[in-house]
Structure 1
Amino acid sequence: MEYQPDLSKALDELRARIFAEGDYWWAEPSEIGKSASDYPDRPRTEEELWSSESVQESGTHSILDMQEMLRPGGKPDYGTVEPVSEAEALQCAGVTTLTRAHVEKIADLATQRWFGRCAVLHDDAGQPAEIYFWGFSGD
């Protein structure tokens, strides 16, 4: 995702894009290997999507399962995305200014289902360039 300083807004924009593209698993049809975009009668709103009991139980296996950006000092909870701290970046990658080259080194910071992570990645000049979201959800 392109960088912007407001991580909560970036999460909301990414969620909206993924929902619009149908790039999530929709449990209602229950067909393995298909995404919501494969169905013309897929939910038209997130409210409609989350009204499905099977979606509530299994999730969407996408960023849609993450509802909130964790604020500084906040405690990770179900459906939250936690930014990588400078201390974590230093411990995992040996730097505090992460780039795309460090993605593999921080991958293990996402350790629990239903909890996401994000990191601001910088370009070669050290300027923020993108926000990298990762984690895993669903069953």
Structure 2
Amino acid sequence: MGASYWSYFVEYQPDLGKALDELRARVFEEGDYWWAEPYEFDRSAKDFPNRPRTEDELWSSESVQESGTHSILDMHEMVRPGEKPDFGTVEPVSAAEALRCAGVTRLTRAHVGQIGDLAEQRWFGRCAVLHDDGGKPSEIYFWGFSGD
């Protein structure tokens, strides 16, 4: 099957960890992730009436443990300042990365295409705070690749 690209925009809040948790809860509730009977690759969890009711139930599936969900659900926590990214973590874009990729430190939606390559490893997510035309934080962009 291979890894899948995923991306999400959420309303800005200063606590990126909380934003990640809320996004994960929403994606799980909506069934917008891969979970299926073996070899049912073109369907998402929302296509199955018997899909898991909890994340614990989701992750108890051997196929999900082996292949992931091909969604933000494969990311479990934010990288804290000073920590190195690890499997299943989301790393915020630094000001230096934004400047190198987009020529600015305050990213907007218009810069999303310029920072996309920062998610270069599978099973590691990225996020960026995006700003409105007035320079105020307005949303958070999460993206990455996961799944096998």
Q: Which amino acid aligns with 1:100?
A: R
Q: Which amino acid aligns with 2:55?
A: E
Q: Does 1:116 align with 2:125?
A: yes
Please report the RMSD computed on the Cα atoms of aligned residues, expressed in angstroms: 0.8
Bigger relative CO (Cα 8 Å, ≥ 6 apart): 2
User: For the Cα contact (< 8 Å) 2:75–2:123, is it kept in 1?
Assistant: yes
User: For the Cα contact (< 8 Å) 1:121–1:129, is it kept in 2?
Assistant: yes
> Could you list the per-position Cα deviations for residues 20-59 of structure 1 after superposition, in whole angstroms to 9, with x for gaps in the alignment?
0000000435312110000010000000000011101100
Structure 1 consecutive aligned stretches of length 4 or more whose deviation exceeds 6 Å: none
| Greater share of residues in strand | 2
Q: Does 1:48 align with 2:57?
A: yes
Q: TM-score, normalized by length of structure 2? A: 0.92
> Could you list the per-position Cα deviations for residues 92-133 of structure 1 after superposition, in whole angstroms to 9, with x for gaps in the alignment?
000000000000000000000000000000000000000000
Q: Does 1:91 align with 2:100?
A: yes
Moved more, 91-100 or 30-39: 30-39
Aligned residues: 139
Q: CA deviation at 1:69?
A: 0.4
In structure 1, the partner of 2:22 is: 13
Structure 2 Cα separation of the partners of residues 56 and 37 of structure 1? 19
Q: Which amino acid aligns with 2:65?
A: Q
Give structure 2 stretches of 5+ with no counterpart. Answer: 1-9
Q: TM-score, normalized by length of structure 1? A: 0.98
User: For the Cα contact (< 8 Å) 1:28–1:55, is it kept in 2?
Assistant: no
Give structure 1 stretches of 5+ with no counterpart. Answer: none
In structure 1, the partner of 2:75 is: 66
**% identity of equivalent residues:** 81
